[in-house]
């Protein structure tokens, strides 16, 4: 077992090498280049392992990944920093202007997608003989339906969509984590316990309201408390430390109280990035704060996408699972289009130009490390291997293909200056 410092050093050195190679040769966006580089290198090593099993390359990579514990690292560590950094950059006025659209997408859209994706996987499982039960198909629907803020916010920096549409895409990805995680937890409990688990739709709705609403109130209270602290000092070093305490403390405290940590962190980050930056910080503090959190976001994104690329070593590439993955990729895209249309379009029936924003919201609904982490966190069962393979394929396709083609799509379907 490697020491944590040695693992971190190895990941940073690998990230630096792949980032340099990407800058000189591939010239892709940094996170996509890291994922592609790590993915290709891992596939090459796996190929060598098959040629000469004595090398024990794939078992070695798996042991390394177990030492990192990707699901725990992301779900209970990096996610708080990444959500806070992303929320700092979101304009609260734009969010409030599209609040009902964001709410519809983050709740109704995620729930619709969960059910439709589950139905699609169940049908493919029957056709291919995968043996994935309806309960586990629902678990898969819950883990793959939320759009990942890490992936989405990274892509939004590179595409020229309107402010309001940007707010919808970013707002949905920041807030639908709470819905997805609650659904995933409850449906996973149902799948593990079987019919004995008494989980009704009313129970799910009540638990979601308690977790999300409690997380919102906690984020508001802690964010306001931090703003009051900012008002009473003018020392950017101390204020940076307070912002770190806010990001980690709100996420941790929410978990201890049984509330939604992602919602608490997002609300706190939006408060600090808007009201706090405007009313409680000097220009020097604002500059240092934003620079500091952008650096954290970039470094963690680099490590996260590197780990996603390496996780191919944790997948058993059975042909039935690969066939299911190939079938589910277009189906998940179609379901995303349907869930967006059914949840958000009714709120904008009077708008003349609905097709462009609908396509962008559908194609821009990227999946990322959150889905991979939830799939990896599943307990051992016959359903885990095919679910992990299908989820991983959808995530890689989403980041690489959708992420790289979103900007050309925006230029094609959205006239310059058109609003949503």
Instruction: Concatenate the DSSP letters of all residues of 273-290 into one string.
Output: IIIIHHHS--HHHHHHHH
Q: Is the pTM of this model over 0.75?
A: yes
Instruction: Concatenate the DSSP letters of all residues of 65-110 into one string.
Output: HHHHTHHHHIIIIIHHHHHHHHHHTS-HHHHHHTHHHHHHIIIIIH
Place of tokens 């049984």: 258
Q: What are the Cα distances from residue 66, in Å, to 35, 57, 61, 72?
A: 19, 14, 9, 10
pLDDT in tens, the chain (420 residues): 456 788 888 888 999 999 999 999 988 888 889 999 999 988 888 887 777 777 677 777 777 777 778 888 787 778 899 889 989 988 889 899 888 899 899 989 999 999 999 999 999 999 999 989 999 999 999 999 998 877 777 676 677 677 788 888 888 988 887 778 878 888 888 888 776 555 666 776 787 788 888 999 999 999 999 999 999 999 999 999 999 999 999 999 999 998 888 889 999 999 999 999 999 999 999 999 999 999 998 888 888 888 888 888 878 778 999 999 999 999 999 999 999 999 887 766 555 577 888 898 899 889 988 899 899 889 988 899 999 999 999 999 999 999 889 888 888 887 654 554
Assigned token pair, 293:
């959190």
What domains can be seen in the chain, in order of their start residue? 4-66 (no CATH), 70-413 (1.20.1530.20)
Distance CA 347, CA 357 (A): 13
């Amino acid at each position: 077992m490697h020491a944590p410092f040695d693992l971190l050093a190895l990941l940073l050195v690998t990230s630096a090498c792949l980032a340099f190679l990407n800058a000189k040769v591939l010239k892709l966006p940094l996170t996509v280049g890291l994922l592609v580089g790590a993915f290709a290198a891992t596939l090459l090593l796996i190929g060598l392992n098959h040629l000469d099993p004595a090398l024990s390359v794939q078992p070695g990579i798996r042991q390394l990944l177990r030492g990192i514990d990707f699901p725990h690292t992301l779900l209970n560590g990096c996610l708080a920093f990444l959500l806070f950094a992303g929320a700092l950059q979101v304009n609260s006025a734009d969010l409030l202007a599209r609040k009902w659209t964001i709410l519809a997408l983050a709740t109704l859209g995620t729930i619709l997608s969960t059910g439709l994706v589950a139905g699609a996987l169940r049908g493919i499982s029957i056709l291919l003989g995968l043996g994935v039960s309806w309960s586990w198909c629902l678990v898969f629907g819950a883990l793959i339906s939320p759009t990942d803020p890490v992936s989405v916010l990274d892509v939004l920096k590179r595409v020229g969509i309107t402010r309001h549409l940007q707010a919808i895409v970013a707002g949905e990805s920041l807030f639908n984590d709470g819905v997805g995680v609650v659904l995933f937890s409850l449906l996973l409990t149902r799948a593990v316990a079987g019919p004995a688990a008494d989980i009704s739709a009313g129970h799910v709705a009540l638990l979601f309201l308690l977790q999300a609403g409690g997380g919102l109130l906690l984020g508001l209270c802690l964010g306001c408390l931090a703003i009051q602290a900012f008002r009473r000092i003018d020392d950017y070093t101390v204020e940076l430390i307070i912002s770190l305490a806010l990001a980690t403390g709100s996420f941790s405290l929410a978990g201890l109280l049984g509330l939604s940590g992602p919602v608490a962190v997002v609300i706190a980050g939006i408060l600090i990035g808007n009201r706090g930056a405007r009313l409680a910080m000097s220009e020097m503090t604002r500059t240092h704060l934003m620079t500091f959190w952008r650096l954290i976001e970039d470094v963690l994104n680099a490590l996260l996408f590197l780990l996603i690329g390496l996780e191919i070593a944790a997948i058993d590439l059975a042909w039935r699972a690969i066939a299911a993955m190939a079938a589910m990729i277009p189906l998940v895209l179609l379901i995303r289009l349907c869930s967006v249309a059914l949840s958000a379009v009714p709120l904008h029936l009077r708008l003349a130009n609905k097709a462009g924003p609908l396509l962008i919201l559908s194609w821009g609904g990227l999946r990322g490390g959150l889905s991979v982490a939830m799939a990896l966190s599943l307990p051992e069962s016959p359903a885990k291997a095919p679910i992990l393979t299908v989820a991983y394929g959808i995530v890689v396709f989403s980041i690489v293909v959708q992420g790289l083609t979103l900007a050309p799509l925006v230029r094609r379907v959205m006239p310059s200056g058109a609003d949503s």
